[in-house]
Amino acid sequence: MIGRILSLTVAAMIGLSAEAGAQGRDVEVYYDRYGREVLVDVYTGEVIEVREPRGSVRRYGEQRPRREDRGQDRYYLDDPEDVARLRREQRREELGRDGYSYRERFPEYDDYRVEPDYRRDDGYGGGFRDQPTYEPPYQGENRFEPGGIERAPLGDPSGDSSIAAIPGPDAPQDGVIIEDQSPTAVPDINNVPNVAHRGATEEVAKIQILLDRAGASPGVIDGRMGDNVNKAISAYRDLTGQALRTYDTAFIDEQLAATGGDPFQTYEITALDVAGPFVASIPSDYGEKAKLERMSFTSVVEMLAERFHMDERYLRDLNPGVSFDRPGTRLRVVNVPRVRKGEVMRIIADKGRRQVRTYDAAGKLLAIYPSTIGSAATPSPTGTHTVKRVAINPEYTYNPKINFQQGNNTRILTIPPGPNGPVGTVWVGLSKPTYGIHGTPEPSKIGKTESNGCIRLTNWDAQELAKMVKVGATVEFVD
C-alpha cells in the first residue's frame, strides 16, 4: 500500500539520454506491478517513459534500515493526504535524505523494483513486531513504541462482563441497482444500466451507505441484504434514536442528503493509483508469505474497493467494461462517510451477534462494527480486558509453538506488513497477551467466517476504531 514515488529533475538525477523534451522536466517516478519505472510529468500527468526492470528483486528481510522514530507522525490509509505524505516520507528515507547520500546507501539502484505478493489469510496469532507502532497514552496523544505479543492460554474471566441484551435485526428489504457506462466518460450516477440480475440493488446499496455514515457499519457495501446489514439496521435505532424505514425510499434519500449528499460519486483513476505497488497474488503458505517485501494489494480494483468500502465484484458491476489500469478512467463509487470522531473508552465484543459496539466515557454509543470473533477450535477470551497499544501497518510474527501450526511451517516467521497480511492494516493489542482487534485481508468474509481468537474487522473499520480508541479502554467479551 505504500507507493514508491520520486520527484526529481530528469536531466540531473535519472539521466534520460536522448529525449530533449524530457530534459529538465520535473517528473514523478513510479514502479508498476511489473517492476518497471514509469516516468510521469508532474504538471501534465503525461507518461514520459516506461523502463523495463534491471537487476534482482530485493526480499523483505534485505530492506535497508529506516529511521527508527517518526516522532508524533500518524498515517491513516483512508486519508489520501496521509497516504501521499507517508509515500513522500518513506521515499525520502529510501533515498538516504536523512543524513546519507543516495549512492552511499543504495549503490544498486536496480534492486528497488520489487513488487510483493499477498492476499488471503485465515490464521494469525503468533508474536508480533509492529511497524510503525504507537501506544496512545490514556486519553492523550499517541506516541510510537515497539512491542511484542505471545499467545497465552485463556484464563478465568476478569471483571464484569454483564451487559444489556442487544435487540434483534429487522427484516431484510429488496430493491433495484445501477451501473456505469463507458470506461472514460463521466458516469451519470442517475442514469446507469440495471444489474439487478446480479443480485445487487441500488436501494440496498443506499441503505448500506446510510448505515455506514451513521456509524452502523454494514461491512462491505455490495448492494445485497444479509446478516451484517440486518444487524446494522437494528443498531441504527440505538445510534440515532429512530428506526430506519428501509421500505421508504424518500426517507432514505432525505437521510442521505442530510448526512453527506449523493450516495455515489465519480472518481477518476490517477497515475498514482495505477503505480501501486501491487503483487500478482498472495500465497496461502506462511513460509512463502514471509519471503515477500509487503503484503500489498493485488490490483487497482482491490485497492479502490477497500478505499470506498466496497465489494470488489460490486465495484466491477457498477463500472462494466472500464479499464481500471488506465489513469483518467472515471468510475462510479460510493460516497464514503467522513472520518468519525470521539474517544472510545469501552468496547463490547458480542460473540453471539458477531458485532463490536464502542462507547465513550459517558456511555454514549459511538459506532458499531460487524466482526469475526474466535471459533470453537480457537476461542476468544472471556471477561473484561483493556487496550494496551495500537499499531498501524504491523508486521506479523508466526510462532507455531505458541498457538497453531500452518501447513509444514515449524519455525518462527515474520510476515511483512500490508493490507493483505494476516491482521490487515491495524492491530489494537489487549492486556490478554497475543489477543487483539485487527483488520483483515478478506473484508467480504467479516461476520461470516471464524478467527483464531481475536476480533477481526474490515480494514477501514479497524482504522476508524484505531483513531478513536484510547489506552485503558475496556474490552468486554460477551456471549
CATH number at residue 356: 2.40.440.10
The whole-number pLDDT of residue 379 equals 76
Cβ atoms 106, 64 nearer than 8 A: yes
Do residues 352 and 403 share a domain?
yes
Relative orientation angle of helices 249-258 and 202-214, to the nearest 10 degrees? 40
User: Which of 197, 309, 385, 438 is the catalytic position?
Assistant: 438
Helix (H, G, I), strand (E, B) or coil at 140: coil
Helix (H, G, I), strand (E, B) or coil at 234: helix
Per-residue pLDDT of the chain (479 residues; tens, 9 = 90+): 434 333 433 333 334 333 434 444 566 666 666 667 777 776 666 777 777 765 544 444 444 444 444 444 454 555 666 666 666 666 666 555 444 333 333 333 333 333 333 333 344 444 444 444 444 444 433 433 444 444 444 444 334 333 333 334 444 443 333 333 333 444 444 444 444 435 899 999 999 999 999 999 999 999 999 999 999 999 999 999 999 999 999 999 999 999 999 999 999 999 999 998 999 999 999 999 999 999 999 999 999 999 999 999 999 999 999 999 999 999 999 999 888 999 999 999 999 899 999 999 999 999 999 999 876 666 778 899 999 999 999 999 888 888 778 889 989 999 999 999 999 999 999 999 888 999 999 999 998 766 667 899 999 999 999 999 999 999 999 98
Q: Is 309 a catalytic residue?
A: no
Do residues 282 and 155 share a domain?
no
Do residues 353 and 302 share a domain?
no
Do residues 330 and 360 share a domain?
no
Do residues 200 and 330 share a domain?
yes
Q: Does the residue 178 lie in any domain?
A: no
Residues in the chain: 479
Relative orientation angle of helices 227-240 and 202-214, to the nearest 10 degrees? 40
Q: Does the residue 372 lie in any domain?
A: yes
Q: How many CA atoms lie within 13 A of 153 on its CB side?
A: 2
Do residues 79 and 204 share a domain?
no
The whole-number pLDDT of residue 128 equals 44
- Full residue range of the structural domain in which residue 42 is found: 6-111
Do residues 306 and 365 share a domain?
no
Beta-bridge partner residues of 372: 456
Q: Does the residue 126 lie in any domain?
A: no
User: Which of 197, 309, 385, 454 is the catalytic position?
Assistant: 454
Number of domains forming the structure of the chain: 3
Q: Which of 229, 250, 251 is nearest to 242 (CA)?
A: 251
Q: Outline where DSSP puts E strands in 33-127.
A: 37-41, 47-51
Output 82-87 pairs: Cβ under 8 A, ≥24 positions apart: 83/1, 83/3, 84/272, 86/2, 87/2, 87/3, 87/4, 87/5
Do residues 217 and 295 share a domain?
yes
End-to-end CA distance of the chain: 36
> Which of residues 334, 366, 398 is at a domain's end?
334
Q: Does the residue 86 lie in any domain?
A: yes
- b (16+ CB within 10 A) / e for 53-80: beeeebebeeeeeeeeebeeebbbbbee
Do residues 349 and 460 share a domain?
yes
Cβ atoms 268, 328 nearer than 8 A: yes
Do residues 347 and 471 share a domain?
yes
Do residues 418 and 466 share a domain?
yes
pTM above 0.75, yes or no: no
Q: Does the residue 428 lie in any domain?
A: yes
Q: Is 438 a catalytic residue?
A: yes
Q: Does the residue 117 lie in any domain?
A: no
